[in-house]
Amino acid sequence: MIIDFKMKAPIPGWEALFESGKTGIKDVFPQLKNVTPTTSSSLTDVLQEMDKQGISHSVILGRNNDIGSSNEALQAFLAGPQGERFFGFIGIEDMTVTEAVETIHRFGRTGDFHGVAAIPSKIKPLTPIGDPGLDPIFEACLEYGLPFCMTLSLLISLISEKPDYDYIHPKQLIRVAQKYPDLKLIISHAAWPFVQESIAIATHFKNIYLCPDFYTAFPGGQQYIEAAKFGLENQILFASCYPNVPYHYAMEHYRREVLDDRIANKIFYENAQQLLKQHKSQ
């Protein structure tokens, strides 16, 4: 079985976001120029793709409280019969710290979510992820036992209001990981291109998890999987970033590097299962 730790789905209210995701980054990276987008357009199509790939569950990272990508729409979906194969993270994009904390309390108490998701460059005002001013967010996550997933990569930095190459550097997380050892910190995009730096901090802090997404196919990306063979087998997560790339593309590059069945099972399933504290039937 496989748990996909990052994807978008055409859930009610999110259809436009799903469609835009199919081609949204193809022109940004030459590595993706010739990748054929998925033809799926409905939730039924996506579920059929998941079945074909052996994906039992997927994680939908929330965005914000706005129409078209709202936490409300995600919550309604997760609580309904169609949400059985999905886990949702509360989205706190485009919010101040106070708004983010209020949102975590509002949705965290429902029990419908399994984590909190943020693109740090969209927190208002722009604040480095390691700044103490963000501590109320981390403490709210801990209150509900929710892991915190942040998207860090050069692409995310370049589209921020104040592009800064060092903004995504994994060193920003050292203070947070030290102060909150019980908080699970997941780096979506694994802070590429700071590959060795993200591997280094995960080596020193067992509460940090790396989710390389489609960056396993980028220069240096194979090192994330190699790190799993040398001590980080419990801290690497599979994520497709679907529909930005199709499932087969995402899985191909993970499987090409993983030769050990035991490690593959951890990356594709066990590590995510433990993080999510699964209670849904398999």
Whether 195 shows a pLDDT value over 80: the answer reads yes
**Average pLDDT over every residue of 176-185:** 98
pLDDT in tens, 262-282: 999 999 999 999 999 854 443
Domain spans of the chain, in order of start? 2-251+264-276
- CATH for the 2-251+264-276 domain, from 3.20.20.140, 3.40.50.2300, 4.10.95.10, 3.40.50.300: 3.20.20.140
Report the C-alpha gap between 251 and 172 in whole angstroms. 29
**pLDDT tens digits, one per residue of 207-231:** 999 999 988 888 999 999 999 999 9
Q: State pLDDT tens for residues 122-174.
A: 888 888 899 999 999 999 999 999 999 999 988 777 766 776 777 789 999 99
**Positive or negative: CA dihedral 101, 90, 129, 210:** positive
Confidence band (pLDDT; 50, 70, 90) for 93? very high
Q: What is the pLDDT of residues 3-55, one digit of tens each?
A: 999 999 999 999 999 998 887 676 777 778 788 889 999 999 999 999 999 99
